[in-house]
Amino acid sequence: MTTPGHDLLAGKVVVVTAAAGTGIGSATAERALAEGALVVVSDHHERRLAETAGRLGDTFGKDRVHALTCDVTVEEQVQALVDGAVAEFGRLDVMVNNAGLGGTRSVLDMPDEEWHRVLDVTLNGTFRCTRAALRQLVEQGTRGVIVNNASVIGWRAQAGQAHYAAAKAGVMALTRCSAMDAAPHGIRVNAVAPSLAMHPFLAKVTSEELLSDLTGREAFGRAAEPAEVANVIVFLASDYSSYLTGEVVSVSSQHP
C-alpha cells in the first residue's frame, strides 16, 4: 500500500533498527525516505542489511541511505550505531526502535535462556537504543523523537507468548516513563502497538493455524501490511504529532 510523500521528515536524520528484509523496519525506512529523510538502516544480519540498503539506495539515492550493522544486545554496538549516524549525516533527529524477538513456548516448558534472550533483544535492546539516542539528542540540544515498536500483545493475553508479551508490555512502560524524562529537553517518545503485520519472516515462524486465527480476529479480515504500520510510525516521528508524548498508539483492526 503506497502513499505519496509530503515531506513530513524533510532533511531529518532517521535511524531504524531491525531494518533488513521486508518487515516493519524496512517499510519504515522506505516511508521515511519517501518523506524526505536521510536514513540509517541497521540490523544484525549483514547480508540482508546490505540488500535492503542497496534497494533503498537505488530508489531514493545512495547518498540518502547509510547501513550500519548492530546487535542491540551489545551496548558498544548500540553506541556505535548512534555515533555512526552522527558521523555520516551530522546529527540524529529520529530513532525508531524496531528490533524485537518472539517465539512460542508455554511457561511450563520455557528455559531461562529463552526468556532472557527475548527480553534482552525486545526490551533491553529498546532501552539501550533509547538511552543512547536521548543522550545524543540532549547533547545536540535539538527536539528529537523516539518511536518504539510495541505490540497489542503487551495488553492482551495469548498462550505461549509470556516472554514476548512481558517484553512488549515493558516497552510500553519504558515509552511512558522515558517520555517524562525526555520532556524537559523537548524530546518526544511514543510507541506503536501493531496487532498483526504480515511479512515473510512472520509466516516462517508462525503456524498457519495461528495466523488464520489471528487474521480472523481482525475487523478487515486481513493482517496489516508493514507499510500501514510504517505510516503511523512516520506520523509519530513528524511534527504532525508535536503534542504527543508517552503515548502507545494501537495499529490494529482487532476486535475483542
Task: Return the active site residues.
Answer: 164
Strands (E), the chain: 13-16, 38-43, 65-69, 94-97, 145-149, 188-194, 248-251
Q: Are 110 and 163 in contact (CB under 8 A)?
A: yes
132: number of CA atoms within 13 Å, CB side? Answer: 28
Grid coordinates representing 90 are 551530522
Q: Are 167 and 125 in contact (CB under 8 A)?
A: no
Could you tell me which residues come within 8 angstroms of residue 225 by beta carbon, excluding any fewer than 6 positions away?
1, 27, 197, 198
CA distance 23 to 73: 20
CA distance 138 to 4: 32
Partners of 42 in beta bridges? 68
